[in-house]
């Protein structure tokens, strides 16, 4: 059975792992303009200040971009898992080294350049660089061209890199030569922190990897619509922020 907020508040060490885009920040046309809402920021800060509680951001963004949009500094106590768990930043030690094969990087750059050429004729289409691949965001592409943009790039990757992992989300398809998912990110963070319970919240298909990996005593939250294995469904960022703030208050009281 999934835990309630009251049960999570009583656990010995709590890991709160949160997706960023669509979960703490509204989805935006220009990805690097994303920022947490004021309510979400206040809730995260309250949890960070709570004893025996670790907060982590778990995102498909590259670690560099995640740090920028989260306004994350070297002094932050928030852990980061970027690139769906292929990159980590840990308080006190910083960015964790991640192996990059030269052939993989070369192919990434070749395919990224070719993908840029393929989508160039379509207004609003572009290729988002990522550490281990690239993304094809189509939020700014006319609806009648969106499918064609994805089709062209999918055919390219299928021909040149059929072994790459493909992920689809809200108006974006991502391709990567690393196969880690948010489930492995949460498992790593759980082990690293010694967490006795985990709360994970996300809004998209890629977050289901983490949600379905949770065990007894954990809590998965789906933010917004869509099918999900999460035990708790919330309408949007405002509701999530309120729930996280309540959890922080309950946990602070329980740890007194």
pLDDT tens for each residue of 154-210: 999 999 999 999 999 889 999 999 999 999 999 999 999 999 999 999 999 999 999
The pLDDT, as a whole number, for residue 97 is 79
User: Please, which residues bridge with residue 93 across strands?
Assistant: none
In angstroms, the CA 249 to CA 255 distance is 10
Picking from 160, 188, 163, 170, the residue whose alpha carbon sits closest to that of residue 84 is 188
Please give the model's pTM, rounded to 2 decimal places.
0.92
The pLDDT, as a whole number, for residue 255 is 76
Mean pLDDT of 219-228: 96
Mean pLDDT of 125-130: 97
C-alpha distances (whole Å) from 94 to each of 91, 97, 175 are 6, 9, 26
Residue 99, exposed/middle/buried by CB under 10 A (0-12, 13-18, 19+)?
exposed
Q: 29, 51 in Cβ contact below 8 A?
A: no
Angle, in degrees to the nearest 10, between helices 102-119 and 143-160: 150
pLDDT tens for each residue of 13-57: 999 999 999 999 999 999 999 999 999 999 999 999 999 999 999
Quote the CATH superfamily of domain 5-86+181-254.
Answer: HAD superfamily/HAD-like (3.40.50.1000)
Q: How confident is the model at residue 100 (pLDDT cuts 50, 70, 90)?
A: confident
In angstroms, the CA 72 to CA 75 distance is 8
């Amino acid at each position: 059975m999934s835990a309630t907020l009251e049960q999570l508040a009583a656990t010995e060490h709590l890991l709160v792992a949160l997706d960023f885009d669509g979960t703490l920040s509204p989805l935006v046309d220009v990805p690097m303009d994303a920022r947490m809402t004021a309510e979400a920021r206040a809730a995260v800060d309250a949890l960070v200040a709570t004893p025996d509680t670790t907060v982590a951001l778990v995102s498909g963004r590259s670690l560099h971009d995640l740090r920028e949009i989260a306004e994350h500094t070297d002094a932050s106590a928030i852990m980061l898992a970027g690139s769906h768990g292929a990159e980590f930043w840990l308080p006190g030690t910083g960015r964790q080294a991640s192996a990059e094969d030269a052939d993989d990087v070369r192919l990434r750059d070749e395919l990224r350049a070719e993908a840029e050429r393929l989508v160039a004729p379509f207004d609003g289409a572009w290729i988002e660089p990522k550490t281990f691949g690239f993304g094809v965001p189509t939020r700014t592409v006319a609806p009648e061209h969106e499918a064609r943009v994805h089709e062209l790039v999918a055919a390219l990757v299928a021909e040149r890199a059929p072994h790459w992992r493909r992920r689809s989300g809200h108006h974006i398809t991502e391709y990567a030569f690393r196969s880690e998912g948010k489930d492995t990110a949460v498992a790593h963070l759980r082990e690293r922190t010694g967490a006795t319970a985990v709360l994970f919240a996300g809004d998209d298909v890629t977050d289901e990897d983490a949600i379905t990996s949770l065990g007894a005593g954990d809590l998965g939250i789906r933010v917004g619509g869509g099918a999900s294995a999460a035990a708790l469904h919330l309408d949007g960022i405002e509701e999530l922020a309120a729930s996280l703030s309540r959890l922080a208050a309950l946990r602070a009281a329980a740890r007194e």
